[in-house]
Chain A
Amino acid sequence: MPISQIVQIVVFVVLTAMTLGGGLGVVLGRNLFHNALFMVLSFAGVVGYYALLDAGFLAGVQLLIYIGAIAILILFAIMLSRGIMGRQRQSNQQWWIAALVALLIFVVLGVVLWQVEWPVADQQALSSPSVAISQLGMELMGPYAIPFEVASILLLAALVGAVILAREMPE
């Protein structure tokens, strides 16, 4: 096995430990603040995944939007509503049903995905990273121009909606 292959596998295993370990920390921990920090760890693992998959632009976007914006926003919300939950129990009475359902779906997905014959393409077809990024830009501005505009309207609506929902209501 060539050395680059081994390095790739080691990196993949480390990133998986980060992503899934962080994910488990998010759903199992008791302290909500620590949960949010574990979520940052999980997002960082996904950044590494994108880098490993040669999607450099998405790695940057993931870092900026998920870690830089969404995680910080959630930390702010936790601090604004702090003290309410304290050290109380964080999971509800149906947690074991939830665990059962999640495990069942995981097993089903694992079996189904294993049985499918994926039409994996010739890896030589991949264009170089700089070409790929310009190609991504061209596609966003060309065939996907209308979804792109709709996404911008969605963001504007979310911006206005969030401001209106969160402001102090005059009685």
Chain B
Amino acid sequence: MIPLYWWLIVAAALFCIGLYGVLSRRNAIGVLMGIELMLNAVNVNLVAFWRYITPQAMTGQVFAIFVITVAAAEAAVGLAIIIAAYRRRDTVVVDDMDIMRW
């Protein structure tokens, strides 16, 4: 059996890679891809905890399913916002989407 720590450290690495993508990308779609990576890392953690700590209760898997649901909704709405912004302002660069900046 693979030690639990390996799973946790891999998930942490994936989370940090996604975080770097979110913080450093100029393209809004690139930012969204970073968020998807972070959500995946969280899911790996949830499933690993389910498998190693509470294999008799299904809580970890149920929560992973809810996270996937929210990720799907977030991707659909996020991409719709990006497409709408692209149509109106002809840009997908996050720095240029500053109409709400005070």
Contacts and interface: CB of A to CB of B under 8 A. Distances in A.
B86 A80 contact: yes
Given A46-B40, A58-B64, A113-B9, A23 B73 contact: no
A78 B29 contact: yes
Interface string A64-96: 011001100110111011001100111110110
A121 B55 contact: yes
A36 B77 CA distance: 18
Interface residues of B, number: 74
Given A26-B21, A102-B16, A50 B55 contact: no
Contact of B23 (A101, A136, A140): A101
A98 interface: yes
Given A136-B61, A147-B66, A70 B71 contact: yes
A16 B23 CA distance: 23
A140 B62 contact: yes
A74 B32 contact: yes
B21 to A, nearest CB: 4
Contacts of A105: 12, 15-16, 19
B21 A85 contact: no
A57 B72 contact: no
A46 B79 CA distance: 23
A13 B50 CA distance: 21
Given A69-B72, A125-B55, A165-B84, A20 B23 contact: no
B20 A9 contact: no
Contact of B51 (A36, A54, A61, A98): A54
11 contacts: A27-B21, A32-B27, A53-B47, A69-B72, A88-B26, A105-B19, A121-B53, A125-B55, A127-B55, A154-B69, A166-B84
